[in-house]
Chain A
């Protein structure tokens, strides 16, 4: 069974730019969530996707957006990058009627 994978592993951007992060969910998992983890903090929920639609969102502005594809893979897009967007971005997947979610290795984003 393939686990959750994310790409790229590391990324450096400058303030004002846009970025797209990618996630492939674990086999059989159709619900995907994205989290932002600042250094020394716990992961903060950004949003969740199920059946290609966002069905839950945390306290993040609209410049954080996402997509889910028919194969359950997902993208996180961030526009107008700010210095505070520097963080580890985590993708997690689960089966719809199960609570436990499994995380990918994350993408480390640095905004200069």
Chain B
């Protein structure tokens, strides 16, 4: 069964304290892995798409990496405005369409 697991469920960091969020997956036929940021009560905001093992992408203080079984979202010197829930999702072929499965997210709180 296709599965996406994110850890930790919640993370509290001091401003400037770097850390990593993990997304492990077991799917067949991965087409892409996505990271989104979601603020309370709002829709997910797209961050990155990764397609193959070894790929890396960066945006400001965020860097996403991908291996064959997991992805990491590295946050360097976070600021309070980085506080949000970070969602990981994987896309795979399923019965003629591209199925997307989300993890339950990591809730990040950055304290000044």
Question: Which A residues form the contact surface with B (CB < 8 A)?
Answer: 4, 6, 33, 35, 40-45, 48, 50, 55-56, 58, 88, 90, 99-106, 108
Contacts and interface: CB of A to CB of B under 8 A. Distances in A.
B102 A43 contact: yes
**Main secondary structure on B side of the interface with A:** strand
Nearest to A56: B97
A48 B98 CA distance: 9
Given A99-B91, A100-B49, A42 B42 contact: no
A97 to B, nearest CB: 10
Nearest to A9: B41
B45 A103 contact: yes
Interface string B81-102: 0000001010100111111111
A26 to B, nearest CB: 11
B78 interface: no
Contacts of A56: 94-99
Contacts of B34: 99-100
A99 B32 contact: yes
Contact of B99 (A41, A45, A105): A45
Given A42-B87, A56-B95, A105 B100 contact: no
Contacts of A55: 96-97
B98 A88 contact: no
Given A42-B4, A56-B96, A88-B41, 6 more contacts: A50-B97, A58-B99, A90-B43, A103-B36, A105-B42, A106-B41
Nearest to A107: B43
